[in-house]
Chains A and B, each alone.
Chain A
């Protein structure tokens, strides 16, 4: 049973436009959420995170929104750049339960078209 789901395997966006990547989770114990970006032949790179006590966190062009009641989070990238083309993984952990292991979604491949 997948506890973290990224239902869109791929997404194509024009350069300069907004990219929106979505993630759903089922485990109510999750209280910390992260986004990682992964280029081919490299390990995942931490991008941005959000605690369940917040509903938004912003870092430059990247913003993560959390809707706890819907168990849904999204990553917005504005404006999108060709260098943003990568696979994006959503991850979650249950820090409050003392669990720091990350549960990952299967990823969304973002292609930013120049």
Chain B
């Protein structure tokens, strides 16, 4: 158990809908990262937050957004969903100075 929690574990929705994925980092970690793993793809970095502020952006679509709240949990919002958005979405956390990111169990999103 990495100490990072993600909810829900599974999510099935329809095209055009909007969903919110939630992540709670390990106790004491200020930085949260979101990654997407599509079929046959490695993990793709989406976005990083540190202590409530956005720090880095990767290959994140404009239809996707995220935020980190004062209690340090983070949410990833996916809107106008398309079939191609079906993937595993992982959250990871770390102290900023360290690079060892600890991953949650992921949320499997299926868009029908």
Spell out A's residues near B (CB within 8 Å): 4, 32, 34, 36, 41-46, 49, 89, 91, 93, 95, 99-107
Q: Does residue B40 face the partner (Cβ distance < 8 Å to A)?
A: yes
B94: nearest chain-A partner, CB-CB: A100
Cross-chain pair count, CB within 8 angstroms: 62
Spell out B's residues near A (CB within 8 Å): 2, 4, 6, 31, 33, 35, 40-45, 48, 55-56, 58, 90, 92, 94, 96, 99-106
Chain B residues with CB below 8 A from A99, complex form: 56
Main secondary structure, interface of A, reads strand
Q: How far is the CA of A53 from the CA of B104 in the complex (A)?
A: 30
Q: How far is the CA of A103 from the CA of B46 in the complex (A)?
A: 11
For residue B99, give the distance in angstroms from its CB to the closest CB of chain A. Answer: 5
8 interchain residue pairs of minimum CB distance = A43-B103, A104-B42, A106-B42, A104-B43, A101-B45, A44-B103, A43-B105, A46-B100
Are B45 and A44 within 8 A (Cβ)?
Answer: no
Chain A residues with CB below 8 A from B92, complex form: 43
Q: How far is the CA of A101 from the CA of B102 in the complex (A)?
A: 12
Chain B residues with CB below 8 A from A32, complex form: 99
Chain A residues with CB below 8 A from B48, complex form: 100-101
24 interchain pairs, CB-CB under 8 A = A32-B99, A36-B103, A41-B105, A43-B103, A43-B105, A45-B2, A46-B100, A46-B102, A49-B100, A91-B43, A95-B99, A99-B56, A100-B31, A100-B55, A100-B94, A101-B33, A101-B45, A102-B43, A102-B101, A104-B35, A104-B42, A104-B43, A106-B42, A107-B42
